[in-house]
Protein backbone atom coordinates (compact mmCIF):
# COMPACT_ATOMS: atom_id res chain seq x y z
CA UNK A 1 0.00 0.00 0.00
CA UNK A 2 1.00 3.55 0.77
CA UNK A 3 3.82 2.55 3.13
CA UNK A 4 5.51 0.58 0.34
CA UNK A 5 5.25 3.58 -2.02
CA UNK A 6 6.59 5.98 0.62
CA UNK A 7 9.51 3.64 1.36
CA UNK A 8 10.27 3.31 -2.36
CA UNK A 9 10.22 7.09 -2.88
CA UNK A 10 12.36 7.71 0.22
CA UNK A 11 14.89 5.19 -1.09
CA UNK A 12 14.85 6.40 -4.70
CA UNK A 13 14.81 10.19 -4.32
CA UNK A 14 17.38 12.56 -2.84
CA UNK A 15 16.32 14.45 0.27
CA UNK A 16 16.21 17.75 -1.62
CA UNK A 17 15.48 17.04 -5.28
CA UNK A 18 15.82 19.92 -7.78
CA UNK A 19 12.73 21.73 -9.02
CA UNK A 20 13.37 20.71 -12.64
CA UNK A 21 14.02 17.18 -13.89
CA UNK A 22 16.60 18.43 -16.39
CA UNK A 23 18.80 19.60 -13.48
CA UNK A 24 19.35 15.94 -12.56
CA UNK A 25 20.62 14.56 -9.26
CA UNK A 26 17.15 13.69 -7.98
CA UNK A 27 17.78 9.93 -7.74
CA UNK A 28 19.52 9.06 -4.47
CA UNK A 29 23.08 7.77 -4.23
CA UNK A 30 22.99 4.00 -3.71
CA UNK A 31 19.63 3.46 -5.44
CA UNK A 32 21.24 2.29 -8.70
CA UNK A 33 24.88 1.13 -8.82
CA UNK A 34 25.08 1.87 -12.58
CA UNK A 35 23.95 5.46 -11.96
CA UNK A 36 26.44 5.80 -9.09
CA UNK A 37 29.31 4.62 -11.33
CA UNK A 38 28.20 6.93 -14.17
CA UNK A 39 28.11 9.91 -11.81
CA UNK A 40 31.55 8.96 -10.47
CA UNK A 41 32.94 9.00 -14.01
CA UNK A 42 31.22 12.32 -14.70
CA UNK A 43 32.50 13.93 -11.51
CA UNK A 44 35.84 12.21 -11.05
CA UNK A 45 36.95 11.37 -14.58
CA UNK A 46 40.38 12.90 -14.04
CA UNK A 47 41.09 10.81 -10.93
CA UNK A 48 39.85 7.63 -12.66
CA UNK A 49 42.33 8.35 -15.49
CA UNK A 50 45.08 8.98 -12.90
CA UNK A 51 44.34 5.58 -11.37
CA UNK A 52 44.66 3.91 -14.76
CA UNK A 53 47.95 5.78 -15.35
CA UNK A 54 49.28 4.44 -12.05
CA UNK A 55 48.17 0.92 -12.99
CA UNK A 56 49.95 1.10 -16.38
CA UNK A 57 53.06 2.64 -14.83
CA UNK A 58 53.34 -0.29 -12.40
CA UNK A 59 52.48 -2.86 -15.09
CA UNK A 60 55.20 -1.57 -17.46
CA UNK A 61 57.70 -0.55 -14.74
CA UNK A 62 57.93 2.82 -16.53
CA UNK A 63 57.64 5.58 -13.91
CA UNK A 64 57.56 8.37 -16.52
CA UNK A 65 54.53 6.91 -18.35
CA UNK A 66 51.72 9.50 -18.52
CA UNK A 67 48.14 9.54 -19.74
CA UNK A 68 47.48 12.83 -21.50
CA UNK A 69 44.67 14.35 -23.54
CA UNK A 70 44.44 16.51 -26.62
CA UNK A 71 41.59 17.41 -28.97
CA UNK A 72 42.96 15.33 -31.85
CA UNK A 73 43.79 12.01 -30.17
CA UNK A 74 41.63 12.26 -27.07
CA UNK A 75 43.24 10.35 -24.20
CA UNK A 76 46.55 8.65 -24.94
CA UNK A 77 49.45 7.04 -23.09
CA UNK A 78 52.76 8.79 -23.63
CA UNK A 79 56.27 7.62 -22.95
CA UNK A 80 59.77 8.43 -24.16
CA UNK A 81 61.15 6.79 -27.29
CA UNK A 82 63.60 4.93 -25.03
CA UNK A 83 60.80 3.22 -23.12
CA UNK A 84 58.61 2.72 -26.19
CA UNK A 85 60.59 -0.33 -27.39
CA UNK A 86 59.47 -2.20 -24.29
CA UNK A 87 55.82 -1.34 -25.01
CA UNK A 88 56.12 -2.23 -28.70
CA UNK A 89 57.41 -5.73 -27.85
CA UNK A 90 55.53 -8.72 -26.41
CA UNK A 91 53.96 -9.15 -23.93
CA UNK A 92 53.20 -5.41 -23.56
CA UNK A 93 52.46 -5.04 -27.28
CA UNK A 94 49.38 -7.22 -26.69
CA UNK A 95 47.95 -4.49 -24.45
CA UNK A 96 49.37 -1.22 -25.79
CA UNK A 97 48.34 -0.09 -29.28
CA UNK A 98 50.73 2.35 -31.02
CA UNK A 99 49.00 5.62 -32.03
CA UNK A 100 51.68 8.16 -32.89
CA UNK A 101 55.40 8.84 -32.74
CA UNK A 102 56.73 12.38 -32.29
CA UNK A 103 60.34 13.56 -32.13
CA UNK A 104 60.74 12.65 -28.44
CA UNK A 105 57.60 10.75 -27.45
CA UNK A 106 55.66 7.68 -28.47
CA UNK A 107 51.92 7.56 -27.89
CA UNK A 108 49.76 4.51 -27.31
CA UNK A 109 46.23 3.59 -26.38
CA UNK A 110 44.57 0.51 -24.94
CA UNK A 111 41.10 -0.93 -25.32
CA UNK A 112 40.43 -0.08 -21.65
CA UNK A 113 41.55 3.55 -22.09
CA UNK A 114 39.37 3.98 -25.19
CA UNK A 115 36.36 2.51 -23.40
CA UNK A 116 36.98 4.68 -20.34
CA UNK A 117 37.25 7.80 -22.51
CA UNK A 118 33.90 7.02 -24.14
CA UNK A 119 32.30 6.41 -20.74
CA UNK A 120 33.68 9.69 -19.35
CA UNK A 121 32.57 11.68 -22.40
CA UNK A 122 29.08 10.18 -22.28
CA UNK A 123 28.70 10.07 -18.49
CA UNK A 124 26.74 13.31 -18.03
CA UNK A 125 24.16 12.43 -20.69
CA UNK A 126 24.03 8.82 -19.56
CA UNK A 127 23.38 9.84 -15.93
CA UNK A 128 20.52 12.08 -17.10
CA UNK A 129 19.03 9.22 -19.16
CA UNK A 130 19.23 6.77 -16.24
CA UNK A 131 17.56 9.26 -13.89
CA UNK A 132 14.81 9.95 -16.42
CA UNK A 133 14.19 6.21 -16.78
CA UNK A 134 13.91 5.82 -12.99
CA UNK A 135 11.58 8.82 -12.83
CA UNK A 136 9.34 7.29 -15.50
CA UNK A 137 9.35 3.95 -13.64
CA UNK A 138 8.47 5.62 -10.32
CA UNK A 139 5.66 7.60 -11.94
CA UNK A 140 4.10 4.50 -13.53
- Residue 86, Cα to own-chain centre: how many angstroms? 27
pLDDT at 1 over 90: no
Model's pTM, two decimal places?
A: 0.75
pLDDT tens digits, 75-131: 999 999 999 999 999 999 999 999 999 999 999 999 999 999 999 999 989 999 999
Question: Between the CA atoms of 65, 68, 73 and 76, what dihedral angle is there, to the nearest 10 degrees?
Answer: 30
CB pairs under 8 A, 24+ apart, for 37-46? 38/119, 38/123, 38/126, 38/127, 38/130, 39/123, 39/127, 41/116, 41/119, 41/120, 41/123, 42/120, 42/123, 42/124, 42/127, 45/120, 45/123
Q: Residue 78, CB half-sphere, CA atoms under 13 Å: how many? A: 14
**The predicted structure's pLDDT at residue 140:** 85
pLDDT tens digits, 48-66: 999 999 999 999 999 999 9
Architecture of domain 43-140: Orthogonal Bundle (1.10)
Amino acid sequence: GHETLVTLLETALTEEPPLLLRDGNFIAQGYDPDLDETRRLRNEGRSVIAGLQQEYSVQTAIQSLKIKHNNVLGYFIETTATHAEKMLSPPLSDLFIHRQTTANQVRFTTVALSELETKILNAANHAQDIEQRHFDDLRA
